[in-house]
Structure 1
């Protein structure tokens, strides 16, 4: 029996494209928050790229089903080192029970470096967010 968590063998409960979209936009939003000198009108979205602000990203996340939302939180926790790959089911279960009074979107948007943490969570499973087709 292999310890490999190959993408074909393991179901995260959310599509990689969805995770990559959330990561990209969390990173963009959180990067913009750190740089107050940038004029938002100066940056046009690249062709094919949606212009996600916090509200748009929050709506996107909240429209995901409960399992997908829990997977995003569990990926962030895994990326932060709270869980290992072999504890995935426990991480997802805890994410579903999180109920910290915040929506999943608010929770992730308030988490420092959430985009990087979710990406690191994918990396624990041997998946690079940069390699995911969008």
Structure 2
């Protein structure tokens, strides 16, 4: 069960789609964990992007356990685990949590699709 407001997740999905649709956004590879610092390097050129700034602000306003839920939801949606393994995904997200969650998430070019799939698997369908 997701405790993060679904409207918040929907806004994050919209911002991610808009951010990634820009031509100048280039993400060289997928990160393996939230602690990888490559995301900071890849996103350094986008600090002044309004969509990135709003995305980061929303994530930073979430409590750490809610940030971990969003990460676990992304992992679920990209197939890193099943719904039956949700608790394990949450635990892993907690173990790997750091203050750069927004960078880690936005660095995934298919973030919006992963979150949508994760919500679908959680039974939320199209919101």
Shorter-chain TM range is: 0.7 to 0.9
Distance in 2 of aligned mates of 1:22 and 1:104: 13
For residues 52-91 of structure 1, what are the structure 2 equivalents within 5 Å? Answer: 53-91=51-89
More helix by share: 2
Deviations 1:37-85 (A, max 9, x none): xxxxxxxxxxxxxxx5101210111110112101110011000101111
**Structure 2 matches for 1:110-121, cutoff 5 A?**
110-121=107-118
Sort the Cα spacing of 1:28 and 1:84 in 2 relative to 1 into closer, same or farther, 3 A.
Answer: same
Q: Match for residue 13 of structure 2? A: 23
Give structure 1 stretches of 5+ with no counterpart.
Answer: 1-10, 36-51
CA change 1:34–1:81 in 2 (3 A) is: farther
RMSD: 2.3
* Larger-Rg structure: 1
**In the aligned structure 2, how far is the partner of 1:83 from the partner of 1:34?**
32
TM-score by length of 1: 0.69
Q: Which runs of 4+ in 1 moved over 6 A?
A: none
- 1:98 & 1:115 partners in 2: Cα distance? 21
1:105-132 CA-to-partner distances (Å, cap 9, x unmatched) read: 000011121111111111112222xx32
Extract unaligned runs of 5+ from structure 2: 26-49
What is the TM-score with the length of structure 2 in the denominator?
Answer: 0.73
